[in-house]
Each structure stands twice: as structure tokens, then as C-alpha cells.
Amino acid sequence: MEPLHGRYLRPFGLNRTLVVLGLRSIAVLGGLVGMAGIVDSHTHLHSFALKGVLDETLEAAAEAGLERLVTVGTDTDDWDFYADLAERYSQIDYTVGIHPCHVEADWEDAFSLIEPFWSRAGKPVALGEIGLDRFHLPRNDEAAAKEIFALQVAACEAQLQLAKQLDAPVVIHSRGAFEECVELIDASGVDWTKVVFHCFSEGPGEMKQLLDRGGFGSFTGVITFKNAESVREAAKLQGLDRLMIETDAPYLAPMPKRGKPNEPAYLAYTATYCAELFGVSPEEFAEKTTGRAKAFYSLG
Ligand SMILES: [Zn+2]
Ligand SMILES: [Zn+2]
């Protein structure tokens, strides 16, 4: 193990070593892992505000070394809250978009509210998350499932056209619909270098399709799961220089917190795991992934 700096606890393997001791190590020994200078490129802070724990959550994130967070819009419920949050906190940026699981028959009403966000002083850093989700469709009503999926396609197409018009980066949510998402983006004429498939949970074959087009995949705690070997292969195929990491909190906590509610601070577990996966120091890992996230979302 090479010498490491900062608060750094190897969360995996037999060698659980606390490298730097000091006053803060008490917090580390309490179970919090840190990596200085990382960016949570996809999180949902609304859930923490609803629980009344937003301040503590942001404090824990700062303690864990997070320097920026991109909080991702899913519906009219959270867009204004995020715009306001980004104005109040210098470390927070936001996106606006209709998540496929929030597409209703009247989605066009919500859609008409998206573009005005780009006239605000504090603009969204991307349009999203948008896309297609087969996983949450009704399971015992084929006709209803088909109808909802058609609405998802229509809402995704409209939002892709808007992203093209605004020249905005796009955050794609794709669950059980990778090929269809790729086809929709191809057909839209959106600049693929502005597209990220967030929570990339496919394999190297799918990653190659993104790379061939200039697109990106960003990775959640799923990459730390034991059975996620093909996800790790996809991350390696993309390479460290193109990598972005995210929590997607409050969902998908990384090991060793799997199954618990996730929070931005836990990004440090994913970052620590990935630094080892790529065989680089925490400093190099943070520098590369933060540079990529800042470039993709034009974070000032
Ligand atoms: Zn998503
Ligand atoms: Zn999300």
C-alpha cells in the first residue's frame, strides 16, 4: 500500500488501515470514510430536506471530502426547491427534467415549465434526469404498461429536443431500456458528448456503444457490489479519464452500507473503492473524476 494523505480508511479487504491519525480520526473510526475533493455528480437532496436533515447531510458530505454536488430534478415537486438550493449553497448545482417514472398523461404541462429555468440567473447545469424505465411499469397489466412506456418515449423525445435547442448536457436514466434510449438519442440529433447515462449498470458491450458515440457513463455504489463484475469491466473500458461518480442518494448505498439509506457522504466509499479498482492514489482519482464532472456540467 502506497503512502496516502488525508483521512483515508480502506473500507474493503483485510487491511482496514487508518492511515492518518488525529482528532478527526475519531469521526473516521466512527465509520465515516473520506476522500478530499470529490464531486457527487448525481444526487437527490429533496428527500433529505423532506426529512428535515438537509443541513446535517451537507455537513457530513463536506466532512467526507465532497466539494460539489449536483442535485438532480425528477418532477415539478423538486425543480424550484433545487433552483433555490443552488442559489443558497455555492457547492450545489442543479438540473431540471421529468424522470421517466414521473411521466403522467399530462406530462406536457410539466414540460412547458422546464425551458424558463434557463432564463434564470442560476441556470440548471443539465436537463435531466430523463429517459426510459421498464422496471417500474405495471407487471400484470400489459396494456397499461405499453401506454405508460409510450408516454415515457414521448416525454423523453420532447426533452431531448429541448436539450438540443438549449445546447444543455443531458442526464439519462435508463432501466431495462438501454437500446431504446440510445436509439432515441441517435434520432434526436443531440450532441452525444453532452450525454451521460447515470447509474451505468450495464456491461462493456453497452459502454462501447456510448464510447463509439462520444457519450459518458457515471457510476453509483452499484460498482462496489460483489456481483457487479460486468459493471466494473464497463468502468475500466471507459477509463479513468472519462469517469464520473455519483451516489444517486437516497438510493443505492455502496458497500459496506448496501441496503441502508444512501447519502452524499457515502460517495467516499465508492470513490475509495474505484481508486483501488483503477490502481491510483486518492488524490489522482479525485483530481481526474472531479475534473471530468466539472467539465461535463460546466461547474464554475
Ligand atoms: Zn435515475
Ligand atoms: Zn437519480
State the ligand closest to the CA atom of 40: 2
Cell of 56: 446535517
| Residues 33, 272 contacting (CB under 8 angstroms) | yes
Q: Does the residue 136 lie in any domain?
A: yes
Q: Does the residue 1 lie in any domain?
A: no
Q: Does the residue 22 lie in any domain?
A: no
What pTM was estimated for this model as a whole? 0.90
Cell of 116: 424558463
Distance from the alpha carbon of residue 112 to the mean position of ligand 1, in angstroms: 21
Q: Does the residue 24 lie in any domain?
A: no
Q: Which domain holds residue 241?
A: 36-297
What is the β-pairing status of strands 195-197 and 66-71? unpaired
Distance from the alpha carbon of residue 208 to the mean position of ligand 2, in angstroms: 23
Write out the DSSP string of the chain.
Answer: -----SS-B--SSS---B-S-STTHHHHHTT----TTEEEEEE-THHHHHTT-HHHHHHHHHHTTEEEEEE---SHHHHHHHHHHHHH-TTEEEEE---GGG--TTHHHHHTTTGGGGGSSS--SEEEEEEEESTTS-SS-HHHHHHHHHHHHHHHHHHHHHHHHHT--EEEEEES-HHHHHHHHHHHT--GGGEEESS--S-HHHHHHHHHHT-EEEE-GGGGSTT-HHHHHHHHHH-GGG-EE---TTS-PPTTSTTSPP-GGGHHHHHHHHHHHHT--HHHHHHHHHHHHHHHHT--
Q: Does the residue 212 lie in any domain?
A: yes
| pLDDT of the residue at 300 | 80
| pLDDT of the residue at 56 | 97
Ramachandran area for residue 12 (φ above 0: left; ψ -120 to 50: alpha; else beta): beta
Number of domains into which the chain is organized: 1
Cell of 28: 473516521
Q: How far apart are CA 292 and CA 217, in angstroms?
A: 11
Distance from the alpha carbon of residue 248 to the mean position of ligand 2, in angstroms: 5
| pLDDT of the residue at 280 | 98
Distance from the alpha carbon of residue 43 to the mean position of ligand 1, in angstroms: 9
| Residues 251, 263 contacting (CB under 8 angstroms) | no
Q: Indicate which CATH number applies to the domain containing 108.
A: 3.20.20.140
Q: Does the residue 260 lie in any domain?
A: yes
pLDDT, tens digit only, all 300 positions of the chain: 333 333 333 333 323 333 333 333 333 434 568 999 999 999 999 999 999 999 999 999 999 999 999 999 999 999 999 999 999 999 999 999 999 999 999 999 999 999 999 999 999 999 999 999 999 999 999 999 999 999 999 999 999 999 999 999 999 999 999 999 999 999 999 999 999 999 999 999 999 999 999 999 999 999 999 999 999 999 999 999 999 999 999 999 999 999 999 999 999 999 999 999 999 999 999 999 999 999 999 998
State the ligand closest to the CA atom of 130: 1
Cell of 293: 464532472
Q: Does the residue 248 lie in any domain?
A: yes
Q: Does the residue 288 lie in any domain?
A: yes
| pLDDT of the residue at 31 | 56
Distance from the alpha carbon of residue 196 to the mean position of ligand 2, in angstroms: 12
254 preceded by a cis bond (ω within 30 of 0): no
CA 83 to chain centre: 18
Distance from the alpha carbon of residue 127 to the mean position of ligand 1, in angstroms: 13
